[in-house]
Amino acid sequence: MITLFFTVFAALFSVANPLGTMPMFLAFTESHNREQRNKVAFRASLYMFLILTVSFFAGKFIMLFFGISIESLRVAGGLIIASSGFALLTGNFVKHKGMNESVKHDAMLREDVSLTPLAVPMLAGPGSISLLISLNENYSNWIETGIIFLTVPAVGLATFLILRSSHFLVRKLGASGLNAISRIIGFIVIAIGVEYIIASIRELVNQLF
């Protein structure tokens, strides 16, 4: 059970990737004091937790409503996760999240950026949402479901601590350090996405034959 928790935590943390969100958080809170930055970090993490919680428990009903099979979701989610990892490897993570110049300018004019664009789509994006829905389908045992759900607040807490410490982390790690970490996480995220696609194809083949 402990292995399941840390495995899911590592996967969800890598896909949500709060480290990749740090540059945008720093840009949006540049004029804020420390207390204001901490509030934005807390609200963004809280919104992410709420969105992922709703997705985890209500995702299967949304799939049923639209007639989407779990295997289709896994393939689509795997493609999104893999493309997100590739964006990390190439340094285009922010653009991959749809953060072009017009979106950035609009966000700068917002009074509160914690919900959008920080929580959505930077932290709780399609990749992390599809990952949780797929995991909820894979593990029907209520104990395993509970353990998987506990990773959501755990990742939310880790996200809050990272965003809150973003100025310190940037000073200590520097641009090269953050780039190296992003590339490592990107490789892991690509592997997660490919694994989901392979597992889905294998399951579809088994169903056919």
The pLDDT tens digits of the residues spanning 62-99 come to: 888 888 888 888 888 889 888 888 888 877 766 655 55
- How many other CB atoms are found less than 10 A from the CB of residue 15? 27
Q: Check pLDDT > 60 for residue 171.
A: yes
Q: What is the pLDDT of residue 51?
A: 96
Residue 185 corresponds to which amino acid? I
Q: What is the pLDDT of residue 101?
A: 63
Look at residues 16, 40, 14, 17 and name the one whose alpha carbon lies nearest to residue 27.
Answer: 40
DSSP string, 29-89: TTT--HHHHHHHHHHHHHHHHHHHHHHHHHHHHHHHHHT--HHHHHHHHHHHHHHHHHHHH
Q: What is the pLDDT of residue 48?
A: 97
Residue predicted with more confidence, 172 or 13:
13
Q: What is the pLDDT of residue 8?
A: 93
Lowest mean pLDDT among 32-46, 88-102, 176-190: 88-102
Q: Check pLDDT > 90 for residue 208.
A: no
95 within 8 A of 108, measured Cβ to Cβ: no
Number of domains in the chain: 1
Mean of all residue pLDDT scores within the chain: 86
Prediction pTM value: 0.88
Task: Give the domain range for residue 162.
Answer: 2-208
